Amino acid sequence: MTAELLLQLLVSGLGMGFIFALIAIGLALIYGVMNVVNFAHGEFLMISMYASVFAFTLGGLDPVVTLPFVAVAMFGFGVAVYYLLMKRVLGGAMHSQIFATFGLMVFLQAAAQFTFGADYYSINHSWLGGTVRIGGVTLPMPQIVAAVGAILCTACLYLLVFRTRVGRSLRAVSQDRVAALTMGIDADRMNALAWGLAAACIGVAGSLLSNFYYVFPRVGAVFVLVAYVTVALGGFGSIGGALAAGVAIGVLQVFSGFFMTSTLKFVPVFALYLLIVLFRPTGLLGKQ
C-alpha cells in the first residue's frame, strides 16, 4: 500500500466524515436539549436530498443554489414536527417517545417510496463536477465542496450555540430544564429551536450530499445508523464531540470499505457503537 493511496483514502474519508459530523450534530443537539433520540433523523436527510435532486432535475437549479432554501424549509419542518408530534409525547412514557419518532421514520420512508418508487435518483453534471489534483491525491470537486460546506455550517452552529444569547438559553435548557424555566427561558421554544436547527443542519448535509450520492427511500437508514455511532462516540449531547467522532468514523468507513466488500463497510462501525456504549454508556467523550 503506497503512501499516496493511504493519503487518498484518508482525504476522502475526511470529506465524508464532515458530512457524518453534520448529521450527527443535529442528533446530538436534539438529544442534548430534550433527552430524546430522533429516530426519523435519517428521513430528514432523505427529504432534503430528494428536494435538492428534484430542484436540479426539474428546475435545473444546482444544490449549491438551493441549499439555503432547503435549509430554511427543513428548519420549518423540524419546528412543525416538534409542535405537532414531539410536544405531545414529552411527558409521556418512554415507549411513546421512542415510537413517536419511530413512526415518523416509517411514515416518511413509506411516503417517499409511495411518491418516488424505489428508484435511485442522482444529479448528473452538476456545476461542481470534475476533480482536483493536489500532490498525488485526486479529489472529486463535489466532495471538497461538501467538506468545506459542512465545516462552515458546523462553525456557524458553534457560534450560534456558544456565542449568542439564544445559544446560551438553549444550553441552559439542556443543562437544567427547571432552573432554565425559573430564569424565564421559554423551554418550549428552545425545544422547537433545537428541532429546527437540527433539521436545518440535515438540510445542509442533504444538499451537499446530493451532489455525489444517489437518493432512494432508505438512504437515511444508512446514514442515521452511522450518526448514532457518531453521537455515541462523541458523547450524547456534545456538539464538539459529534464533530470529532464524525470525522473519525468517516475515515474508518473508507478504510474498512477498502479492505472488505463495500456493503459490509459499516459493520465495523456498528461494532464500534456496541463497544463504546458498553464501556462508556454516556459516550466516549461525554461526561461520565
Partner 1 sequence: MSAPSVNKGLTFAGSPIKLRNIVLFFAGVGILYLIPQFLDGKPFELRLLTVIFLYAVMGQSWNILGGYAGQISIGHAMFFGLGAYTSTIAFLNFGVNPWIGGLLAVAVSALAGVLIGIPCFRLRSHYFVIATLVVAESIFLIFSEWSFVGAAIGLELPIRPSGWENFQFHRNKIPYYYIALTMLVVVTIFVIWMERSKIGFVLKGIRDDEDAVRSLGFSPLRYKLIAMAFSAGILGFCGTFYAQYVLLIEPPTVLFASISVIVALIPIFGGIGTVAGPIIGSVILLTISEYSRVHFSGSGRNVDLLIYGALIMVFAAYCPGGVMSMISSLRARFRKGAV
| Residue 129, number of CB atoms within 10 A of its CB | 13
Work out the burial of residue 16: count CB atoms within 10 Å of its CB; fewer than 13 is exposed, 13-18 middle, 19 or more buried.
Answer: buried
Which of 193, 180, 212, 238 minimizes the C-alpha distance to 86? 193
Mind giving me the DSSP string for 14-49? Answer: HHHHHHHHHHHHHHHHHHHHHS---TTHHHHHHHHH
For residues 250 and 253, give the distance between their C-alpha atoms in angstroms, rounded to a whole number.
5
> Is 242 among the residues that bind partner 1 (CB under 8 A)?
no
Chain-centroid distance, C-alpha 170:
19
112: its cell numbers = 417517499
Q: Which is nearer to partner 1, 91 or 135 (CB)?
A: 91
> Is 92 among the residues that bind partner 1 (CB under 8 A)?
yes
> Is 264 among the residues that bind partner 1 (CB under 8 A)?
yes
Q: What is the DSSP letter of 277?
A: H
Which of 270, 130, 269, 150 minimizes the C-alpha distance to 209? 150
Which residue in the set 12, 48, 66, 109 belongs to the binding site for partner 1 (CB under 8 A)?
A: 109
Which residue in the set 94, 124, 287, 288 belongs to the binding site for partner 1 (CB under 8 A)?
A: 94
> Is 253 among the residues that bind partner 1 (CB under 8 A)?
no
Q: How far is the CB of 157 from partner 1 (least distance, A)?
A: 23
Binding mask 175-194 for partner 1 (x = CB under 8 A): --------------------
Among 47-55, 181-189, 221-229, 238-246, the segment contacting partner 1 (CB under 8 A): 221-229
Q: Which is nearer to partner 1, 101 or 210 (CB)?
A: 101
Q: How far is the CB of 215 from partner 1 (least distance, A)?
A: 17
> Is 274 among the residues that bind partner 1 (CB under 8 A)?
yes
232: its cell numbers = 455515541
Which residue in the set 79, 105, 199, 205 belongs to the binding site for partner 1 (CB under 8 A)?
A: 105
Q: How many chain residues bind partner 1 (CB under 8 A)?
A: 45
DSSP bridge partners of 139: 132
Q: How far is the CB of 155 from partner 1 (least distance, A)?
A: 28
> Is 258 among the residues that bind partner 1 (CB under 8 A)?
no
- Sign for the pseudo-dihedral over CA of 43, 44, 46, 50: positive
> Is 99 among the residues that bind partner 1 (CB under 8 A)?
yes
What percent of the residues of the chain are helix, what percent strand, and what percent coil, each to the nearest 5? 75, 5, 20
> Is 287 among the residues that bind partner 1 (CB under 8 A)?
no
**Contacts with partner 1, residue ranges (CB under 8 A):** 37, 39, 85, 88-89, 92-100, 102-111, 113-114, 117-118, 221, 225, 228-229, 232, 261, 263-264, 266-267, 270-271, 273-274, 277-278, 281
